[in-house]
A and B are shown apart, each in its own frame.
Chain A
Amino acid sequence: MEQERKFWNPYLSGLALGLVLLASFVLLGKGLGASGAAYRVGVTALATLAPEHVAGHGSMGGMVSGHSPLDNFLVFEVLGVFLGGLVAAYTAGRLKLRVIRGPRISPAGRLTLALAGGTIMGIAARMARGCTSGQALSGGALLSAGSWAFMMMVFVGGYAMAWFVRKEWT
Chain B
Amino acid sequence: MSLPFALPSMNHALFLLVAVGLGFAFGFVLERAGFGRSNKLAGQFYLHDMTVFKVMFSAIVTAMLGVLVLSGVGVLDLRALSESALSFTYLWPMVLGGFLLGVGFIVSGYCPGTSVVAAASGNIDGLVTVVGVVIGSLVYVEIQPLLGGFHTSGDLGWLYLYDLLGVSPQVLALGVAVAAIVCFVGADLVERHFQRVRQPDGLTPAPSAGSRRLAFGVFGTVAVVGVATLTIPSKEAQATAPQLRSIGAGPLAQRIFDEPWGLRIVDLRSDELCAASRVPGSQCVSMDGLGDLGLAWASGDQALVLVAAGDIPELPAAVQDYPGEIYALEGGFLGWSDYALTPPELLAPDASAAERQEWAFRSGLVSALTGVEQPPPPVGTPTITFTPKKRKGGGGCG
Interface residues of A (CB under 8 A from B): 7-32, 34-35, 38-39, 41-43, 45-46, 57-60, 73-74, 76-89, 92, 94-102, 110-111, 113-133, 135-162, 165-166, 168-170
Contacts and interface: CB of A to CB of B under 8 A. Distances in A.
B23 interface: yes
Given A84-B28, A129-B90, A143-B160, A113 B107 contact: yes
Nearest to A112: B128
A152 B95 CA distance: 9
Q: Is the interface of A mostly helix, strand, loop or mixed?
A: helix
B347 to A, nearest CB: 65
A124 to B, nearest CB: 4
B343 interface: no
A89 B67 contact: no
B82 interface: yes
A115 B131 contact: yes
Contact of A124 (B57, B97, B124): B97
6 contacts: A73-B15, A81-B27, A83-B20, A119-B135, A128-B97, A161-B102
Interface string B203-238: 000011001101110100000000000000000000
A13 B52 CA distance: 10
Q: Which 4 pairs, one residue from A and one from B, show the smallest C-beta to C-beta distance?
A: A118-B132, A122-B136, A80-B23, A157-B102
Interface residues of B, number: 133
Given A13-B32, A29-B85, A128 B215 contact: no
Nearest to A89: B121
B283 interface: no
Contacts of A31: 85-86
Interface in B150-185: 151, 156, 158-162, 164, 169, 172-173, 176, 184
B33 A143 contact: no
Contacts of B94: 127-129, 135, 146-147, 149-150, 153
B130 interface: yes
A159 B45 contact: yes
Interface in B56-110: 56-64, 66-67, 70, 76, 78, 81-82, 84-91, 93-110
B44 interface: yes
A161 to B, nearest CB: 4
Contact of B27 (A30, A82, A96): A82
Given A25-B67, A30-B84, A59-B141, A80 B21 contact: yes
B1 interface: no
B281 interface: no
Nearest to B53: A155
Contacts of A98: 122-124
Interface of B: 3, 5, 7-8, 15-34, 36-40, 42-46, 50-51, 53-64, 66-67, 70, 76, 78, 81-82, 84-91, 93-113, 115-126, 128-141, 144-145, 151, 156, 158-162, 164, 169, 172-173, 176, 184, 207-208, 211-212, 214-216, 218
Given A11-B184, A117-B132, A151 B82 contact: no
B129 A117 contact: yes
B370 to A, nearest CB: 60
A100 to B, nearest CB: 5
A123 B100 contact: yes
Nearest to B15: A73
Nearest to A58: B145
A27 B215 contact: no
Contact of B61 (A18, A58, A119): A18
Nearest to B107: A117
A78 B27 CA distance: 8
Given A17-B29, A22-B67, A145 B161 contact: yes
B123 to A, nearest CB: 5
